[in-house]
């Protein structure tokens, strides 16, 4: 196909006029194309060049060699040169020779437009006769030959990467900012364009528009615009990306790996590697490294990543050369230890892709580099196989990495199951002796496995408090902290005593006076006002339990640690030994760890505490706690008589976070004997089981007797007093109760060298109160109660008197009504506290019941009181007469301090039901 040509210059008058006009045009060129071309082929000489140059100076004027896009989709390749004066002698003439390429057309032989730079086919004058000669080819100029371009690239090496980075943006998005190249010589701009067309894919290079010179870059329509320093500046215009090659190069680093690789290939003189290469760094970097070109970190990273993705398609020779290049550093040393984290990760991924698929002789240098870099830089250690390294590479790495490996294994800043464990595996692979470091590493691994986040103080670890109740103070003489019981009322509203009939237990839901009292006379920590938010353990408000071993899910053991346990006998021995020591110190924590860790405890003999924890974490052996205790104890494989520590471990595993019941503690004492509990340090656990037992545990008094017998010589004074109180509570209501119950209870409590535990005081006072109410009650006991003025005992007595059991019996047994009236009317004025208690019982309990009794029951009550004495009968009748209760109560107990006179005569308070009788 013959391409149309255009010639344009200032010509003498002719058929088409004079001045600047087309002087020669191929046949068939439309007028619209001529008008558009006229806008593209103009030429303005530089301002700083001579106004009237001679022939030599004319040759130094820049050439405006342009390749422009036309409206019809075609292209216009043109060359404009300054010719000095025109036919009339006027200066400022130029001659433009242009070639029209229709849409889709190429230059002859498919040559790139830039290769036509300064070709002999370009004319500086209009052809004779005005008829252009057909052009069948463009002979290239030596100015853009391979050697010339390589030399030029080397001279501009500090600017290449930045230019190529902007070029890739331009090629990806043609609508982005234009590139402006400022050079002293338009030929250098042409060389820049030739460099650009070489690195771009062929099709993009054919479409790249450019001009090597313009005095007004703002008016240029091409993608790459050449300019001289004297051209109009666009440095501050955001529409342009300016590369001024006449000044100092920018020092900003280029983050485009592809651009950096292109620059290095040109500087290495290997432009053939660009043969239709894509504008991505990976494949180009692979070719560059395979060709022996040194690349930077970004290029090496891109090559490694792309090779890892395409390893199955790369020729073996290319792959071998690539791996060899990646295994060396910039000085040719091997292995190389430099590089960023990204490069190391890419090399490790390539190694993982090639291992087992490529001969070891090829991959061993890469494995050595990856391993050495990871060890020395603190990166992720690769999981190499035994055959990943050649003997020579293994020996060299062992010499160089031994200090770093030993230091990393012993590094306390790293979690044991992380990097140190990986380094130990590498030390084994390289046959580096690290046996002396294994015990310390195993201890760290064991501690990390068992470690838990800090818990709330209310959930203390069993290692800190072995089932001790709140207020326990091991440093005190008795073992319990200061203060009286916070409450005698269990959180569930139940009370209890030692006997087994209905009189020995307050039913659930009953309320004490303190709970119903709105006056605020009773302190919040007294028995009359139990704490509503006291933590409960087995129904008892004073016990704080340790965290339940089954409440938190166990985390699985790290796979790397499991592998090391199976493959490294020395580490396994040390690790299980450390875990065994931790199991003896905190069995529940180790049991939680083993429950989900999957550690093969069976692989290592011995370690009795660890074996017990392993069984405790296995849910298959369910059963009652005593049965489970014996199963766990047998799992130790050691008799508790030979090693008493296993007894403590078994107890803390089975009763994790709570105390044995009195029955369980009794069986543990009788089955094993007191001596073994002394040696194992579990004696206080049995004592605590008695002292902190909930009120509804009826076996506590019997356990107290056994403990007094078994440990009589070693009980602390406070413990002895508390156990004696529990023993006395068990005797009340039996043939062995004796006399002076109130006095003996108070004397035992007060004789303790420290406060008696809340649970013991609650049990004893509750049992004593029920015994006094149940009857028959000696007059001396009632008098001792009244005179004691003991607030907690009186509160227990009032609580029992308000119970449903007492109310039910008062409604059905007239003789019991008479007995309670006598008791609650006795000893007025002896103590204010007693007066308040008995007045409350008379008013709140007895009076409503008596008023509701049928006449025959009231008569039976009066008959019983008549046998007591005429004075008591008269007092009852006066008390029971409507309107007389207030006066009688006032005479008996006196007005309470601070009370106002009642508004209704004769009553302490308005009658029930709003005054309706």
Burial of 868 (0-12, 13-18, 19+ CB in 10 A): middle
Q: How many CB atoms lie within 10 A of CB 321?
A: 18
For residue 230, whether the previous peptide bond is cis, meaning omega lies within 30 degrees of 0, is: no
Q: How far apart are alpha carbons 544 and 535 in whole angstroms?
A: 6
**HSE-CB for 451 with a 13 A CA cutoff:** 10
DSSP secondary-structure letter at 489? S
User: What does residue 544 show for φ and ψ, rounded to 5 degrees?
Assistant: -110, 120
DSSP secondary-structure letter at 845? I
Q: How far apart are alpha carbons 739 and 727 in whole angstroms?
A: 15
**Structure tokens that stand for 332 in this block:** 């040719």
Q: How far apart are alpha carbons 531 and 880 in whole angstroms?
A: 37
pLDDT at 700: 94
Nearest Cα residue to 335 out of 285, 361, 373:
373
pTM of the model: 0.62
Dihedral (C-alpha) 360, 361, 366, 367: value to the nearest 10 degrees? 40
Q: How far apart are alpha carbons 449 and 593 in whole angstroms?
A: 7
Ramachandran region, residue 556 (left: φ > 0; alpha: ψ -120 to 50; beta: rest): beta
Segments of 46-134 assigned E as strands: 64-69, 75-85, 91-101
DSSP structure string for 177-221: PEEEEE-SSHHHHHHHHHHHHHHS-HHHHHH--EES--S-GGG--
Q: How far is CA 813 from the centre of its chain?
A: 69
User: What does residue 782 show for φ and ψ, rounded to 5 degrees?
Assistant: -65, -40
With H, G, I as helix, E, B as strand and everything else as coil, classify residue 75.
Answer: strand
Yes or no: say if 902 and 883 are a contact pair by the CB < 8 Å rule: no
**Structure tokens that stand for 765 in this block:** 């006072």
The neighbouring-strand residues paired with 6 are 25, 98
pLDDT, tens only, 213-231: 999 999 999 999 999 999 9
| Low-confidence residues in the chain, pLDDT < 50 | 330-334, 336, 454-551, 619, 621-622, 885-917
**Could you give the angle at which helices 625-635 and 608-616 cross, rounded to 10 degrees?**
140
Q: How far apart are alpha carbons 513 and 534 in whole angstroms?
A: 18
Place of tokens 């974490």: 617
Burial of 903 (0-12, 13-18, 19+ CB in 10 A): exposed
């Amino acid at each position: 196909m013959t391409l149309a040509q255009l010639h344009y210059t200032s010509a003498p008058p002719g058929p088409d006029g004079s001045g600047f006009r087309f002087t020669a045009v191929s046949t068939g060129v439309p007028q619209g194309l001529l008008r558009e071309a006229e806008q593209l082929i103009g030429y303005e000489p530089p301002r700083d060049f001579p106004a009237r140059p001679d022939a030599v100076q004319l040759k130094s004027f820049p050439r405006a060699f342009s390749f422009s896009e036309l409206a019809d989709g075609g292209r216009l390749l043109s060359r404009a040169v300054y010719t000095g004066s025109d036919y009339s002698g006027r200066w400022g003439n130029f001659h433009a020779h242009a070639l029209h390429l229709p849409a889709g057309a190429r230059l002859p032989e498919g040559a790139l437009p830039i290769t036509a730079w300064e070709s002999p086919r370009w004319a500086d004058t209009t052809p004779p006769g005005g008829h252009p000669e057909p052009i069948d080819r463009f002979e290239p100029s030596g100015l853009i030959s391979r050697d010339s371009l390589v030399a030029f690239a080397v001279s501009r090496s500090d600017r290449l990467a930045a230019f190529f980075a902007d070029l890739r943006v331009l090629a990806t998005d043609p609508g982005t900012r234009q590139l402006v190249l400022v050079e002293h010589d338009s030929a250098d701009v042409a060389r820049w364009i030739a460099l650009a067309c070489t690195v771009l894919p062929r099709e993009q290079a054919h479409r790249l528009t450019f001009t090597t010179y313009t005095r007004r870059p703002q008016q240029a329509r091409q993608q790459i615009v050449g300019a001289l320093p004297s051209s109009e500046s666009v440095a501050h215009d955001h529409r342009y990306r300016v590369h001024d090659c006449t000044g100092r190069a920018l020092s900003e680093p280029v983050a485009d790996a592809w651009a950096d690789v292109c620059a290095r290939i040109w500087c290495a003189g290997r432009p053939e590697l660009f043969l239709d290469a894509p504008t991505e760094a990976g494949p180009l970097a692979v070719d560059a490294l395979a060709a022996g070109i040194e690349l930077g970190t970004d290029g090496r990273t891109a090559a490694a990543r792309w090779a890892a993705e395409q390893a199955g398609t790369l020729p073996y020779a290319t792959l071998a050369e690539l791996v060899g290049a990646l295994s060396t550093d910039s000085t040719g040393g091997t292995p190389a230890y430099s590089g960023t984290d990204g490069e190391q990760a890419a090399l490790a991924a390539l190694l993982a892709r090639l291992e087992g698929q490529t001969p070891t002789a090829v991959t061993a240098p890469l494995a050595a580099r990856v391993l050495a870099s990871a060890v020395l830089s603190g990166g992720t250690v690769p999981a190499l196989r035994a055959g990943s390294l050649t003997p020579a590479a293994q020996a060299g790495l062992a010499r160089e990495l031994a200090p770093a490996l030993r230091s990393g294994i012993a590094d306390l800043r790293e979690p044991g199951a992380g990097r140190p464990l990986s380094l130990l595996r590498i030390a084994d692979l390289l046959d580096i002796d690290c046996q002396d470091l294994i015990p310390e590493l195993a201890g760290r691994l064991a501690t990390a496995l068992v470690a838990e986040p800090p818990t709330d103080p209310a959930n203390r670890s069993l290692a800190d408090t072995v089932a001790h109740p709140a207020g326990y103070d091991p440093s005190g003489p008795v073992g319990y902290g200061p203060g009286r019981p916070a409450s005698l009322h269990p959180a569930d509203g139940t009370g209890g005593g030692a006997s087994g009939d209905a009189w020995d237990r307050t039913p659930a839901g009953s309320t004490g006076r303190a709970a119903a009292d709105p006056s605020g006379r009773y302190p919040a920590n007294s028995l009359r006002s139990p704490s509503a938010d006291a933590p409960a353990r087995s129904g008892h408000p004073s016990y704080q339990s340790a965290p339940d071993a089954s409440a938190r899910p166990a985390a699985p053991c790290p796979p790397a640690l499991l592998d090391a346990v199976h493959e490294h006998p020395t580490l396994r021995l040390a690790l299980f030994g450390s875990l065994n020591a931790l199991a003896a110190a905190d069995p529940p924590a180790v049991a939680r760890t083993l429950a989900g860790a999957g550690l093969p405890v069976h692989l290592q003999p011995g370690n009795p505490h660890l074996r017990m924890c392993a069984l405790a974490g296995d849910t298959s052996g369910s059963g009652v706690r005593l049965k489970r205790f014996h199963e766990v104890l047998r799992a130790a494989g050691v008799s508790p008589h030979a090693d008493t520590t296993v007894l403590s471990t078994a107890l803390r595993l089975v009763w994790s976070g709570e105390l044995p019941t009195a029955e369980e503690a009794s069986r543990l004492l009788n089955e094993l004997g007191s001596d073994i509990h002394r040696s194992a340090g579990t004696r206080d656990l049995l004592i605590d089981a008695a002292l902190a037992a909930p009120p509804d545990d009826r076996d506590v008094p019997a356990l107290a007797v056994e403990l007094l017998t078994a440990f009589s010589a070693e009980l602390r004074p406070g413990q002895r007093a508390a156990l004696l109180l529990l023993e006395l509570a068990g005797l009340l209501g039996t043939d062995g109760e004796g006399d002076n119950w109130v006095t003996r209870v108070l004397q035992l409590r007060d004789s303790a060298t420290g406060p008696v535990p809340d649970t013991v005081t609650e049990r004893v006072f509750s049992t004593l109160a029920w015994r006094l109410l149940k009857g028959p009650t000696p007059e001396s006991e009632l008098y001792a109660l009244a005179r004691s003025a003991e607030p907690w005992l009186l509160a227990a007595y009032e609580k029992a008197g308000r119970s449903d059991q007492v109310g039910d019996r008062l409604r059905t047994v007239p003789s019991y009504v008479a007995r309670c009236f006598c008791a609650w009317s006795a000893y007025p004025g002896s103590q204010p506290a007693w007066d308040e208690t008995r007045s409350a019982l008379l008013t709140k309990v007895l009076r409503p019941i008596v008023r509701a009794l049928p006449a025959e029951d009231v008569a039976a009550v009066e008959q019983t009181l008549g046998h007591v004495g005429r004075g008591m009968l008269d007092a009852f009748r006066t008390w029971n007469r409507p309107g007389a209760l207030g006066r009688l109560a006032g005479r008996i107990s006196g007005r309470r301090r601070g009370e106002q006179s009642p508004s209704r005569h004769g009553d302490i308070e308005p009658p029930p039901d709003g005054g309706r009788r």
